[in-house]
Chains A and B, each alone.
Chain A
Amino acid sequence: ETGVTQSPTHLIKTRGQQVTLRCSSQSGHNTVSWYQQALGQGPQFIFQYYREEENGRGNFPPRFSGLQFPNYSSELNVNALELDDSALYLCASRLQGRRGPETQYFGPGTRLLVL
């Protein structure tokens, strides 16, 4: 157990819809990152939030957006869903301090299927 939880575990949507995925970080972790993992591939970095602001982004379009809240929870929102958005979505949290970032702890993921 890593102390990071995600909800829901599975989700089915249709093309064009919008989806919100949720993550609950370890207490005290000020940084959360989101990843997309297509079947049989490695995770792809979507973006990172530090103290409620986005401070890094991978090659994902603006329809992928996020929020981080003071209570160590966060959201990933995806608008105008496409078939290729079907994947496992992982969140990971960690503490960034004066010594730099600590280890990332991953959640179990949300499996999204877009029909």
Chain B
Amino acid sequence: AQTVTQSQPEMSVQEAETVTLSCTYDTSESDYYLFWYKQPPSRQMILVIRQEAYKQQNATENRFSVNFQKAAKSFSLKISDSQLGDAAMYFCAYEANFNKFYFGSGTKLNVKP
């Protein structure tokens, strides 16, 4: 069964500093997709970054980057130069076969000015 685990319920970071959110997953599939989503207090879920499992290169989107370790089934998100607007719930998610989606339980990120 596919599961996604986020072991950090809450984290804090100082503005302008770097923070890393952890995610592990369990799967028997060889081809799949991994995502990080951000859910601000207004509730609308926004895609932060996406990684295809067949790609060895780690995805990067501006200040957001991932460390994808396929053998370890680990997919962490690094946020550089943290900004106040980064404060939100962050969800790690997994998809295979384009017809089922699994989310982790989320990490609440606080950004301190």
Contact A107 B100 (CB under 8 A): no
Contact B103 A44 (CB under 8 A): yes
A108, chain B: closest CB distance, angstroms: 5
Q: Which residues of B contact A109 (CB under 8 A)?
A: 43-44
Number of A-B contacts (CB under 8 A): 53
| Complexed CA–CA distance, A95 and B29 (Å) | 23
A40, chain B: closest CB distance, angstroms: 8
B47 at the interface (CB under 8 A from A): yes
| Interface bracket on B | 20 to 34
Which secondary structure dominates where chain A touches chain B?
strand
Contact A45 B100 (CB under 8 A): yes
A55 at the interface (CB under 8 A from B): yes
Contact B101 A45 (CB under 8 A): yes
A20 at the interface (CB under 8 A from B): no
Task: Take A42-B91, A43-B91, A106-B45 as given contacts and tell me if A100 and B104 are in contact as well, using a CB distance cutoff of 8 Å.
Answer: no
| Closest CB pairs A-B (n = 10) | A56-B99, A42-B103, A106-B45, A45-B101, A43-B103, A42-B105, A108-B44, A101-B98, A56-B100, A42-B106
